[in-house]
């Protein structure tokens, strides 16, 4: 990926949904990662990651829940604001959490407006197929860019009976129809999570908007991972995760070394004290 191309060749401005659409037309792939605080957002932004997702995965990796369901709008607003403050070029997408948009388009707009006004998000993401197309249409009509999410949608994990691959067999045709409906409703992109690679390839070829894969094979226009998964902080990551670092082991070694230094009296040394 050429960040200069994706950023439209401009310096000092953020990525826009138009940049992402143009990248698809050029056949240019791009990465997206999650972020939940200003410090990691600054690192990922400087590395040229064009899209940062403040995911409802914060429920697990920040707040310690065992699913995404308990997290609320009020939980995610300060995290989103921090990521916006910590970045300067990435497009920041905020997840609409479970229960904040399903009731009606009006509820969805109320929730999205809070993320845009109070946290400075540039877009929102919501899960589901054609049943949430009215919400997508209402948000886009009101000026809110929408990233859709199909396949394994974690907010529906209880309906699915666990974290299972979605879209096999006849269900693939249903997912394809959902993707096209969401595109017609105005979504600027769609996440495909845990779907067969051949289905993701067909959906990608059938849509004008970018697809973002997570456990969906190599043919999507973009790829997303939870940063704690890819950096080795998650004990048992999913099959689709590639580890790019082992920060868990590094943090363990550093914490033990600090503890040993304190117990032995070797820290703080003279160089760490004021006179």
Whether the CA torsion 34, 203, 145, 1 is positive or negative: it is: positive
Q: 169: number of CA atoms within 13 Å, CB side?
A: 1
Q: How far apart are CA 59 and CA 45, in angstroms?
A: 23
Quick one: three-class SS letters along 13-46? CCCCHHHHHHHHHHCCCEEEEECCCHHHHHHHHH
Q: How far apart are CA 109 and CA 172, in angstroms?
A: 30
Residues 118, 137, 193, 201: which is the catalytic one?
A: 193
Number of helices (H), then strands (E), belonging to the chain: the values are 12, 8
CA distances in angstroms from 139 to 106, 136, 145, 259, listed in the order given: 9, 5, 7, 51
Q: Using an 8 Å Cβ cutoff, are 102 and 132 in contact?
A: yes
Residue 271 annotated as catalytic? no
Phi-psi region of 19 (alpha: psi -120 to 50; beta: other; left: phi over 0): alpha
Q: Which residue numbers are catalytic?
A: 193
């Amino acid at each position: 990926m050429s960040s200069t191309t994706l950023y439209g060749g401009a310096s000092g401005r953020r990525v826009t949904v138009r940049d992402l659409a143009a990248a698809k037309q050029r056949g240019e792939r791009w990465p997206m990662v999650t972020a939940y605080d200003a410090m990691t957002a600054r690192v990922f932004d400087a590395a040229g990651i064009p899209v940062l997702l403040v995911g409802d995965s914060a429920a697990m990796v920040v707040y310690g829940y065992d699913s995404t369901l308990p997290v609320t709008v009020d939980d995610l607003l300060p995290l989103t604001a921090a990521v916006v403050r910590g970045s300067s070029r990435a497009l920041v997408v905020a997840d609409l959490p479970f229960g904040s948009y399903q009731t009606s388009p009006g509820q969805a707009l109320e929730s999205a407006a809070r993320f845009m006004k109070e946290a400075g998000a540039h877009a929102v993401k919501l899960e589901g197929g054609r049943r949430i197309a009215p919400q997508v249409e209402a948000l886009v009509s009101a000026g809110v860019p929408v990233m859709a999410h199909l396949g394994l949608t974690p907010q529906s994990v209880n309906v699915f009976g666990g974290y299972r691959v979605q879209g096999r067999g006849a269900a693939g045709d249903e997912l394809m129809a959902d993707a096209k409906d969401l595109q017609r409703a105005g979504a600027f992109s769609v996440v495909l999570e845990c779907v067969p690679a051949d289905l993701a390839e067909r959906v990608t070829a059938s849509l004008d908007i970018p697809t973002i894969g997570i456990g969906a094979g190599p043919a999507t226009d973009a790829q997303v991972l939870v940063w704690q998964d890819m950096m080795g902080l998650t004990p048992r990551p999913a099959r689709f995760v590639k580890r790019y670092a082992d920060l868990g082991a590094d943090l363990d070694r550093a914490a033990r070394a600090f503890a040993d230094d304190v117990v032995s009296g070797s820290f703080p040394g003279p160089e760490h004290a004021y006179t």
